[in-house]
Chains A and B, each alone.
Chain A
Amino acid sequence: MYEIVEKKVLAPEIKLYKVNAPLVARKARPGQFVILRVGERGERIPLTIVDFDRGKGTITIIFQEVGKTTKQLGLLGQGDCILNLVGPLGIPLEERFFGTVACAGGGVGTAEVYPLARALKNAGNFVISIIGARSKELLVLEHEMRGVSDELYITTDDGSKGIRGFVTEPLRAMLDGGRKIDLVIAVGPVPMMKAVSDLTREKGIKTLVSLNPLMLDGMGMCGVCRVTVGGRTRFTCVEGPMFDGHEVDFDELKARLQTYFEQERLSLQKFHGLVK
């Protein structure tokens, strides 16, 4: 049992939990994730480790309520427990000096890009962050991102804050303006990561994306999270979640992500019926 020691509502349907998990906190590094199960009949879902406090033995997770499990998770409060939580999983980010790094986070992906930006800043990189959301209410971790970035750009799809458009807009402007960038990191929905990768491919800039395929065990035992990278099949949970964005088959990833679309809808419907 993993106690929620702190709960914050960051945006409508986006929540932050600090969870007591000392063994995970002890080993966690930026880029890694956990798999958790909310209750007895629950499914296993992956969530990024946004932060960790080795001294207090806690990890921070941030999630958006998009389906049954995340909605159920969102109903928990401080003092409640998550039934199962295992980690840290996946390969951490290589924390070294690259030069100038652009970190792009789309939607709740901002929470996932935050530990990466922070680690890269600490490793001496010049960090340019671009965070985007559908509208200003959905924008998260602006303050935290500002704290770990040398420059910060904000985009919203509806123009309610910052630049109107997607996170690719400021990035494109920078690249077109001849700005030298040594590494781009993109975390967010598949179309966003694909768009960023397409943009940087033309310029030959190394780009890392953190992939979000379906997962089950998260330990390399089942292969549901397999993706094609550079023509080879890779398991995201043990060889990722970060891969070279120029080599990822995003269309395949998107098709695989839709496998249970209908069931997910059904499960959520049933949950709403029960909750009301």
Chain B
Amino acid sequence: MLRRQPMPELDPRERIHTFDEVALGYNEEQAIEEAKRCLQCPRPTCVQGCPVGIDIPSFILCIREGRFEDAVKVIKKKNHLPAICGRVCPVEEQCENSCILNKRGEPIAIGNLERFASDCERRSGSRVIERAEPTGKRVAVVGSGPAGLTAAADLAKFGHEVTIFEALHVPGGVLMYGIPEFRLPKKIVEEEIDYVKKLGVNIKTDVLVGRTITVDELLQEFDAVFIGTGAGPPQFLGIPGENLAMVFSANEFLTRVNLMKAYDFPDYDTPIRIGKRVAVIGAGNVAFDSARSALRLGAEEVSIVYRRTEKEMPARLEEIKRAKEEGVEFKLLTLPVRLLGDEKGCVKAMECVRMELGPPDSSGRRSPAPIKGSNFVFDVDTVIVAIGRTPNPLVPSTTSGLKVSGKGTIVVDDAARTSRIGVFAGGDIVTGEATVIKAMGAGRKAASAIHSYVMREKNWPSF
């Protein structure tokens, strides 16, 4: 069996001094070699593993035959933002996990090939833009993250007049403020968003729905509304000392670095400060993005502090591996209980307790429990809290009759319909914090439900 083509990467010693993209992408030869490994299954299981159902064997066949433009056309039937998905999808849990080769060896590098195809298209500068016959229907999309962008692109392809309302000064949501440049270059995100605009989607930034305008008001102007406002306020641990200076939420830290380009301070105006010894609390992708950003900003020691073991870490394997290569340290089975400050109110140390994994709970996960008397203190001068985010409450709290779950997520049916007639929702605001591709899948599903609704179906389920 042929070996999987390795992804060329920047050397770890070089890359920790720059925010440049780590993974360099396949060249044509490597892509074709990798495409040749695909068995072209008549009943492909990989497609089932893809949340948007891309016809994976077909686009891989195009690459194998050197028809790179055709490969992109196949992908774009299902996914408008392949340059993004090819970089950030947790493929090891999705398409590549379902690849038949995974049973005996290494699965096809589907993500790498998707990235290759879309990068070819971008480099060639020849983008196919198909604009549909206008239907005369108007749809408002709230939020320009992966869910909103996908819904908007699909709706534009159906011929509807689409306006996206974005609260920040640039569109893209987590793609712009959350995922770092070294994993997802912002120029690529901008080009993908440009493609969505060329489909006819109008994007209004600086509009905070819930404050600047409400969903109820949007419904007076638009035939339907899609809510894709994503995950919202960061969670903190609720331990003493958490409001000391130099304690950041990952969201603040990453927004400064990614959206505001604080790594280029003072050429950009937004400042960032990084100490010598940084502790990042949490072990999801956001924690790893924060840790690796901290290294690139010049921190001498960066550790991931996690209450379980490496096996339970929710981050992508690839990123965990890259973080290790870059020198990020792991403090496992460790739970912070208190942050200690200096006389200026800055954090100077962290008190933690050691944990042990108990027996599996009802969900099969071994839950960690503190070991009594195992407390210890270590010095830190920067703490980044990356333990997750709660659903954004602004739209639910300012929209009449919108049903919300106990967790604060918006309740929808199978067709993304909320309890308000004409209002649809998808992405993290419905599921809680999830992945980019799942949000795209939700946006896509909502778009087809919205299409049916505005074109004919006026019935609505009761909640």
Residue ranges of A at the interface with B (Cβ–Cβ < 8 Å): 23-24, 27, 37, 41-44, 68-69, 83-89, 216-217, 219-224, 226-228, 233, 235, 238, 249, 251-252, 254-256, 258-260, 263-264, 266-267, 270
Tell me how far the C-beta of B383 lies from the nearest C-beta in chain A, rounded to whole angstroms. Answer: 13
B213 touches A23 (CB 8 A): yes
Known: A220-B233, A259-B273, A260-B273. A84 touches B206 (CB 8 A): yes
Question: Does B394 sit within 8 A of A, measured CB to CB?
Answer: yes
Mark out the residues of chain B between 234 and 276 whose CB falls within 8 Å of any chain A CB in the assembled complex: 234, 236, 238, 242-246, 248-249, 251-252, 255-256, 260-261, 265-273
From B233, B238, B266, contact of A221 by CB (8 A): B233
B187-208 contacts to A (CB < 8 Å): 205-208
Q: Which residues of B contact A224 (CB under 8 A)?
A: 248-249, 252
Residue of A23, A217, A256 touching B207 (CB-CB under 8 A): A23
Residue contact A227 to B256, C-beta cutoff 8 Å: no
Collect the chain A residues with CB atoms within 8 Å of residue B168's CB: 86, 217
CA of A69 to CA of B266, assembled, Å: 12
Which residues in window 87-139 of B have CB below 8 A to A? none
Contact A264 B271 (CB under 8 A): yes
Q: For the complex, is B211 an interface residue (Cβ under 8 Å from A)?
A: yes
Asked whether, in the complex, the Cβ of A255 is within 8 Å of the Cβ of B345, the reply is yes
B344 close to A (CB within 8 Å): yes
B344 touches A221 (CB 8 A): no
Tell me if B255 and A87 are in contact (CB < 8 A): no
* CB-defined contacts of B261 to chain A, threshold 8 Å: 41
A259 touches B246 (CB 8 A): yes
Least distance between B29 CB and chain A CB atoms (Å): 39
Q: Which chain A positions have C-beta within 8 A of B266?
A: 263, 266-267, 270
Residues of chain B with a CB closer than 8 A to A260's CB: 271, 273
Identify which of A43, A220, A256 contacts B345 (C-beta below 8 A). Answer: A256
Q: At the interface, is chain B mostly helix, strand, loop or mixed? A: loop
A251 and B169 form a contact (CB under 8 A): no
**A42 partner residues in chain B, CB cutoff 8 A:** 268-269
25 example contacts (A-B, Cβ-Cβ < 8 A) are as follows A24-B212, A43-B260, A43-B269, A84-B169, A86-B168, A86-B207, A86-B212, A87-B208, A89-B208, A216-B256, A217-B168, A219-B167, A220-B393, A221-B234, A222-B252, A224-B249, A226-B236, A228-B243, A233-B238, A235-B233, A238-B394, A254-B345, A255-B346, A258-B345, A260-B273
B232 within 8 A of A: yes
Q: What are the 10 closest A-B residue pairs judged by CB atoms, nearest first?
A: A255-B345, A263-B271, A222-B252, A43-B269, A84-B169, A43-B270, A86-B206, A260-B271, A223-B249, A222-B251
Is the pair B208, A86 in contact by a Cβ cutoff of 8 Å?
A: yes
Q: How far is the CB of B104 from chain A (nearest CB, A)?
A: 45
Q: How far is the CA of A222 from the CA of B168 in the complex (A)?
A: 13
Taking Cβ atoms with an 8 Å cutoff, the residues of B that contact A are 167-169, 205-208, 211-213, 232-234, 236, 238, 242-246, 248-249, 251-252, 255-256, 260-261, 265-273, 344-346, 392-394
Inter-chain contacts of B208 with A (CB < 8 A): 86-87, 89, 219
Bound form: Cα–Cα A89–B212 in Å: 8
| CB atoms of B249 and A252 under 8 A apart | no
Question: Are B245 and A259 in touch, CB under 8 angstroms?
Answer: yes
In the bound complex, CA of A226 to CA of B346 (Å): 15
Q: A43-B260, A216-B255 are in contact. Are A89 and B211 (CB under 8 A)?
A: yes
Q: How far is the CB of A90 from chain B (nearest CB, A)?
A: 9
Q: Is the CB of B245 within 8 A of A44?
A: no
Q: Which residues of B contact A41 (CB under 8 A)?
A: 261, 267-269
Q: Of A220, A252, A255, A267, which is within 8 A of B394 by CB?
A: A220
Q: A44-B169, A263-B273, A270-B266 are in contact. Are A222 and B249 (CB under 8 A)?
A: yes
Instruction: Give chain B nearest CB distance to A252 CB in angstroms.
Output: 6
Contact at B233–A256, with CB atoms within 8 Å?
A: no
Which listed residue, A219, A235, A267, touches B269 by the CB 8 Å rule? A267
Q: How far is the CB of A195 from chain B (nearest CB, A)?
A: 19
15 other A-B residue contacts (CB within 8 Å) besides A220-B233, A258-B344:
A23-B213, A24-B212, A27-B212, A42-B269, A43-B268, A43-B270, A43-B271, A216-B260, A219-B394, A238-B233, A252-B244, A256-B345, A260-B273, A263-B272, A267-B265
Contacts of B211 in A (CB 8 A): 27, 87-89
Given A220-B233, A264-B271, A267-B269, A83:B169 Cβ within 8 A: yes
Smallest Cβ-Cβ distance to B345: which chain A residue: A255
- In the bound complex, residues from chain B placing their C-beta under 8 Å from that of A88 are 211-212
| Distance of B140 from chain A, by nearest CB (Å) | 14
Task: Give A252 to B345 CA distance when docked, in angstroms.
Answer: 7
Per the bound structure, the CA–CA distance linking A260 and B266 in Å amounts to 12
Nearest B residue (CB) for A67: B269
A266 surroundings in chain B (CB, below 8 A): 266
> Is A87 in contact with B234, judged by CB distance below 8 angstroms?
no
Contact status A221-B269, CB under 8 Å = no
Contact residues in B for A89 (Cβ distance below 8 Å): 208, 211
Q: Give Cα A23 to B245, complex, Å.
A: 35
Q: From residue B286, how far is it (CB to closest CB) to chain A in Å?
A: 12
Chain A neighbourhood of B393, CB < 8 A: 220
Given contacts A37-B169, A89-B211, A222-B249, contact A263 B265 (CB under 8 A): yes
Query: With A and B bound together, what is the CA distance between A233 and B267 in angstroms?
Result: 33
Nearest chain A CB to B420 CB, angstrom units: 21
